[in-house]
Structure formats: C-alpha cells, structure tokens
Amino acid sequence: MKRILIKSTISTNDEARRYLSEGEDVVVCSEEQTGGRGTKGRSFLSQKGGVYLTKLTFHDHLPASMAYRVMMHAAVAVCKTVASFGVPAEIKWPNDVYVRGKKISGTLIENVLAENAVKASIVGIGLNVSNDVSSLMGIATNLHAETNLRPTVDEVRERLIFQLSQPFSEGEYRKFASFLGREISVVEGQEQYRAIAKDVLPDGRLVVEKNGEERALSSAEITV
C-alpha cells in the first residue's frame, strides 16, 4: 500500500481522491490541514500536533447496502488506537470517538458507488494527539491530556494505520458504543426527544425506543 506524507494540505480527503484513477490503496497523511472538514460540512480544527490521514481503499465485492461497515471499521480502528495508550475510548453514533465525554477524533467518509456497490472508500480521520484544543471550550481533548505516556504524532499515526489494516467485527463496534442501553437525547430534523438506544443494525441505523415503540434512525444527532 502506497503511503504519502506531506507537510500541509487543505484536506487529506481531497489529496487521496487524486489517486482514484490508479486503482491502488493509498494512505495520505499531513502534518496539518488548512480546510479540514467533518460531517455535514462542519469545519474540523487541524493544527499541527494531530494525526490527519485519509485511507483510500478499493473494494472488490462490497454491496452498497453494507457501506456502513466502512464507517464502523474506522471507528473501531480509532478506538483501538486510543485504547492502546491506556485511554478509555467510546464511540458516539455513528463514528465520532470520545474520551471521558470529550471528543478526541472525527471521521469523514466518502464512498464511491457504482452498480449498487462500493467501489472505493475515502476514509478521512483526524485524531488529536498534542494539538491545542483549548479554543473548543472544553468539548474536545487530546491524548496528551488523557495519558502520561506522551505519545508522538508519528507513533499514534503508525498505530492507527496498522489498526485500519486489521479486520474487525460488529461486536467490537458495539463494545465501544457505550451509548447502547442508555437513555439518550435525539435531535432528528426539527424533532427533539428522549429515547433508549437499543442497537445498531448491520446497515448502520440506530434503533431507539421512544414511548415503548422502536424506530430505526438513519440520520440524527444524539447525546447521552
């Protein structure tokens, strides 16, 4: 697998997309992003001191109905990386990773579809290591704040790339999904309500129980 390390870029996802025509898996890493972005067009703070990478993976037989496995895999890989430094990691549905109630990592996935199949996945991950997150008003954290091990960016990056190359199971996703079985607050469009998080389906939908009735959510914001 080709690996590319650059000093600065607008977005590692954009850089990785340039290699779609080559048909070879590649990991693009950058010391910083000047235009990092998260889901729903949100900006993602990407100063030096964090891991910013995108893994471009080509798939042979991945039905579009199973595209969510790509996101599950990325979330588990981040959790295992964080946990390897003795830090408790938790997934906030669908793919953000939190430590002790603060966000430590975000993921942006862009799948390339053709004939009801995922031909390639562009998986962008930002993981806070020693970068300054003080401007995020206590809602974010980094590895240096959570452990005395003081890992380097290079060390964290290597562990993350390794984990992204490993297989995973849906059971592992559920293990890190600490919200399951708990009461959560759900914002679904213009509706806001409390519900019990019951399960995550193989297609990625979140099953919640509201007033004794179950419903499967495709898109929503949740907080515990």
**Shared fold status for 2-176 and 183-223:** no
> Can you tell me the mean pLDDT for 127-140?
91
Domain ranges of the chain: 2-176, 183-223
Q: Pick the closest to residue 82 from 104, 108, 63 (CA basis).
A: 104
| Cβ neighbours of residue 175 closer than 8 Å, sequence gap 6 or more | none
In one letter, which amino acid is 100? R
> Can you tell me the mean pLDDT for 38-43?
57
| Torsion sign over Cα 68, 69, 72, 77 | negative
Q: What is the CATH number of domain 183-223?
A: 2.30.30
b/e sequence 61-87, b meaning 16+ C-beta within 10 Å: ebeeebbbbbbbbbbbbbbbbbebbeb
Q: In whole angstroms, what is the distance from residue 23 CA to residue 29 CA? A: 18
Tens-digit pLDDT profile for residues 175-188:
999 999 999 999 99
Token pair in block for residue 62:
């991945």
Mean pLDDT score of the chain? 93
Instruction: Say if residue 41's pLDDT is above 60.
Output: no
Residue-level pLDDT at 1: 87
Q: In whole angstroms, what is the distance from residue 32 CA to residue 137 CA? A: 21
Question: Is-contact 48 30, C-beta < 8 A?
Answer: no
Residue whose entry in the numeric block shows the structure tokens 């199973």? 66
Q: In whole angstroms, what is the distance from residue 94 CA to residue 173 CA? A: 10
| Torsion sign over Cα 60, 172, 97, 189 | positive
| Cβ neighbours of residue 101 closer than 8 Å, sequence gap 6 or more | none
- Give the containing element (helix H, strand E) for 69: helix 68-83
Could you write out the DSSP letters of every residue in 139-205?
SB--HHHH-TT---HHHHHHHHHHHHTS---HHHHHHH-TTTTSEEEEEETTEEEEEEEEEE-TTSP
| Torsion sign over Cα 148, 149, 150, 153 | negative
Tens-digit pLDDT profile for residues 51-90:
999 999 999 999 999 999 999 999 999 999 999 999 999 9
Tens-digit pLDDT profile for residues 7-30:
999 999 999 999 999 999 999 999
Among 30-44, 108-122, 148-162, the range scoring the smallest mean pLDDT is: 30-44
β-partners of residue 126 are 52, 106
Instruction: Say if residue 137's pLDDT is above 60.
Output: yes
Instruction: Say if residue 115's pLDDT is above 70.
Output: yes
To which CATH superfamily is domain 2-176 assigned?
Bira Bifunctional Protein; Domain 2 (3.30.930.10)
